[in-house]
């Protein structure tokens, strides 16, 4: 901080008012589980207003990074910046008013209704002086409508299909009314039709101005929907940028151990991974 700089507090977030940059960034971040580093000295700028997909092999640190970006875990070293300010400078609920996190395989309380779960997305906006208001009802109605759940609002979450349940969780994070959504493997356990339905919803939200960061396993889905692709390997970012520039046969072979061709998707012209035949893969590995 420059000498003589006067720092005041932003009343909405509790963060220093000198913050200028928009979006999330990581600077030299190291993250560990049980003392074992999972992410090592990682630096990354996530484009404000982008639809960023994070891909990489299992165990490379994708989910760990997303948790740190939401302040769900603390870095061992380095800094996470939100809108140009150290994430640690924000007050407790202030982070949840800026960033919404949908973790892997969230569990709903037994017997809770769709509306009841979506209501929880409004908790970060409540204080002792500000309790439930018409603004909360409007936010919930919007989230239910946007995810196609209005007619299921009184249904029990536990009685819904997997695709419907995942839409309820998306509705909950939409009800938070944050500009930034972090989704950790949101298509896990969904059948193929519901996977694309969910990703189309993410694309629509992105076009409407949301910044979205999602961890995905499917390379072709990531390439089709992302405006920005981040590739991780062994706890580090090894490539990032537009999918057409990042997703190459050489990168897929090196990072995922999968010999392949990259061809244009016949529907979208985005990069599409076509794996080589199993016999050829065996020869390459041999």
* Cα–Cα distance for residue pair 202/220, rounded to 1 Å: 16
Instruction: Mark whether 241 and 253 lie in a shared domain.
Output: no
Q: Judging by beta carbons within 10 Å of its beta carbon (0-12, 13-18, 19+), is residue 220 exposed, middle or buried?
A: middle
The number of distinct structural domains making up the chain is 2
3-state secondary structure of 109: coil
Q: Are residues 48 and 144 in the same domain?
A: yes
The DSSP code for 4 is T
> Is the domain of 210 the same as that of 252?
no
Are residues 68 and 136 located together in one domain of the fold?
yes
Spatial CA neighbour of 164 closest among 139, 178, 144: 144
Could you tell me if 106 and 225 lie in one domain?
Answer: yes
- Phi, psi for residue 261 in degrees, rounded to 5: -110, 150
Confidence at residue 4, expressed as pLDDT on a 0 to 100 scale: 33
The CATH number linked to 64 is 3.40.50.300
* Order of strands across the sheet that contains 24-33: 36-45, 24-33, 77-82, 85-86
On whether the CB atoms of residues 95 and 87 are closer than 8 A, the answer is yes
Q: What is the pLDDT of residue 163?
A: 85
Q: Is residue 5 part of a domain?
A: no
**Mean pLDDT per 10-residue segment, the chain (286 residues):** 33 39 91 90 95 96 95 94 92 85 89 95 76 88 94 95 90 93 91 92 93 96 98 97 97 96 97 84 53
* Sheet architecture: strand order including 211-215: 99-102, 180-184, 211-215, 51-55, 228-233, 236-241
In a domain, 47, yes or no: yes
- Same domain for 226 and 263: no
Residue 63: predicted pLDDT:
95
Indicate whether 134 and 193 sit together in one domain: yes
Q: Is residue 260 part of a domain?
A: yes
Q: Based on the domain organization, do 258 and 175 belong to the same domain? A: no
Looking at the structure, do residues 255 and 235 belong to the same domain, yes or no?
no
DSSP symbol at 36: E
Q: Are residues 164 and 258 in the same domain?
A: no
Model confidence, pTM: 0.86
If asked whether residues 155 and 223 sit together in one domain, one would say yes
180 with 263, same domain: the answer is no
| Predicted local distance difference test score (pLDDT) of residue 131 | 76
Which range marks the domain in which residue 177 is found?
Answer: 24-247
- C-beta separation of 88 from 78 below 8 A: no
**3 three-class SS:** coil
For residues 285 and 24, what is the distance between their CA atoms, to the nearest angstrom? Answer: 39
* Phi, psi of 175, deg, nearest 5: -65, -20
Using a 10 angstrom Cβ sphere, with 0-12 exposed, 13-18 middle and 19 or more buried, the burial of residue 93 is: middle
């Amino acid at each position: 901080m420059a000498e003589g700089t006067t720092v005041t507090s932003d009343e909405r977030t509790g963060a220093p008012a000198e913050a200028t940059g928009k979006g999330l960034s990581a600077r030299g971040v190291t993250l560990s589980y049980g003392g074992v580093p999972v992410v090592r000295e990682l630096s990354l700028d996530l484009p404000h207003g982008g639809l960023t997909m994070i891909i990489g092999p299992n165990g490379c640190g994708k989910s760990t990074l997303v948790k740190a970006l939401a302040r769900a875990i603390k870095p061992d070293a380095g800094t996470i910046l939100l809108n140009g300010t150290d994430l640690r400078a924000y007050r407790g609920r202030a982070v949840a008013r800026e960033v919404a996190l949908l973790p892997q395989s969230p569990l709903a309380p037994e017997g809770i209704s769709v509306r009841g779960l979506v209501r929880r997305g409004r908790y970060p906006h409540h204080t002792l002086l500000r309790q439930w208001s018409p603004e909360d009802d409007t936010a919930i109605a919007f989230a239910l409508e946007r995810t196609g759940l209005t007619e299921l609002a009184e249904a029990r979450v536990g009685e819904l299909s997997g695709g419907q349940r995942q839409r309820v969780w998306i509705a909950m994070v939409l009800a938070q009314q944050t500009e930034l959504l972090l989704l950790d493997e949101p298509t896990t356990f969904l059948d193929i039709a519901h996977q694309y339905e969910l990703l189309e919803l993410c694309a629509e939200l992105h076009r409407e101005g949301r910044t979205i960061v999602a961890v995905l396993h499917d390379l072709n889905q990531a390439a089709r929907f992302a405006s920005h692709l981040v590739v991780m390997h062994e706890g580090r970012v090894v490539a990032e940028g537009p999918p057409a520039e990042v997703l190459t046969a050489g990168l897929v072979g090196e990072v995922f151990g999968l010999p392949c061709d990259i061809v244009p998707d016949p529907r979208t012209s985005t990069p599409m991974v076509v794996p080589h035949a199993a016999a050829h893969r065996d020869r390459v590995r041999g």
